[in-house]
Structure 1
Amino acid sequence: MGEFDLIRRFFQRPAAAGVEVGVGDDCAVLVPTPGARWLVSSDMLVEGRHFLSTVDPARLGHKALAVNLSDLAACGATPRGFTLALALPRADEAWLAGFAQGLWALADASGIPLIGGDTTQGPLNLCLTVFGEAPPGQALLRSGARVGDEIWVSGRLGDARLALEVFRGRVVLAGEAFEQVRVAMELPTPRLALGQALRGVATAALDISDGLLGDLGHLLAASGVGATLELAALPRSAVLAVQPPAVQQECLLAGGDDYELVFTAPPGARLPDVGVPLTRIGRIEAAPGLRVVDARGERVDHGLRSFDHFQS
């Protein structure tokens, strides 16, 4: 199977609404909504760095798109299209069928068409670029948090990191408990509806990809503020809650791969109900830095840091 047969068989579909020209030409042609602002994000997933070689290809197809859609969610964007650049060691039809199945299932559920990309032979590497849009002045950014705002997070934290620790052999889980955290790691849910509903409500937002400490730190730096984070308030699953305190702290604070939204909002703000649990986990303060406190309000000396591609 050649390159162009591969594209036609697994990745080409008729042009979708808002797409004048899609896969199959030198460029895609999109039809923008009058007055809307484009939001664009790219993410790369490298085998051995971002995913295990043993991962189910359908789950990899889902996750490759999900982590990019999570960036659109963090900015409150409506998805419009995405491109896929795919490097493959070989044209494995069974692998491609599974990957495409997972990719298309999430793309269809999210209403986002594939509009172009590239394929080549090489070490397994996936690079996606997503395009979204939002009304003028309504995109959520990292730079709007204000002193006195409350800090909120969606869903639960830490399960994806707990699954990684199982694969590393540091934690033992089996059966249903392991499958629960493995699903969190391999099939994250991009919070698109929540992000769009937070437009005009949240003062700042971003998604948690490298760990709560680091990602929230980026928001604080962009906004020029500090914060206190309440460790006991961080939402966690029953599986994580029975792990030793040190494991819980590492997974919750520095785990990464959660793809939940962390956002700030004024006290008393009317938060949207889109079927996703929201938990207040701290407050924005004037003093620089990010302080973590326990249930008694005492400082937690955790010594943790989030994932960094060149320091981890």
Structure 2
Amino acid sequence: MKQKITKAIFPVAGLGTRFLPATKSVPKEIMTLVDRPLIQYAIDEAREAGIKEFIFVTSRGKSALEDYFDHAHQLEHDLASKGKTELLDILKATNMDSGQIAYLRQHKALGLGHAVWCARRMIHDEPFAVILPDDVIAAEKPCLKQMVEAYEETGGSMVATMEVPPEKAHAYGVLDVADDRGAVVKAKGMVEKPAPGTEPSNLAVIGRYILHPNVLTSLNSKEAGAGGEIQLTDAIAKEIGTDRGVYGYRFNGQRFDCGSKAGFLQATVSFGLSRPELRDELRDYLQEVLTLDKAAQ
């Protein structure tokens, strides 16, 4: 029986420069998708997958992120006194119990691999998950939960994957596939941001990982990879030659890149249309906009 995955690392130290000026004072992870911040989607997904300990790797200027998960006693009291129980339940769902959540600082922006390495003392020798909040995944069964179930069969390390157009593969880490089993593929190689035309496949790695603790040992070397940064992909690739192995998982669901403005807008529309109380009004508006746009052409 495989060891349970109960810890997850959330690398949230990035400056979010693509969303300036909003991110001058608001951490990108607090930006709202309909009525919940990006980080709440990540936390909810982790909880559904059985995560009990939440480790945030932050940087200077992220205090609003920490405050978000704290108890707002005055607001809770006001809602309770006014009998607004539905809003109170929504608010309480954002709270984290003492000891459940930890914050660590990444003092220099040295890459995703370095951010994960910063949490090494809290992981010890356990397998763990990594969730990138920029990647929001709409799925009937949360993506990480799908992966945890698959991991119970494979062990080793596992990355979420999706097929991308070959001309876009250079923007991702890409798997070289040894054995394709459908939802699960076994990797014989991983390349971070391959030069156009050199990609081994169009199976891209996106922001969900289940990792063996030896990945942290590999990160100890702090070797710079693509872009001069310490790449998590490089450390995972070192697991491929072991008896543990590295697997890709083709998840069921739709991924939105909320690290980009276009992806954020697409996610907003999609999640808005999925809400019964918003669907009709939003759909009517979108149809009106498209009709006017077509007429203008």
* Bigger proportion of residues as helix: 2
Q: TM-score, normalised by structure 2?
A: 0.29
Q: TM-score, normalised by structure 1?
A: 0.28
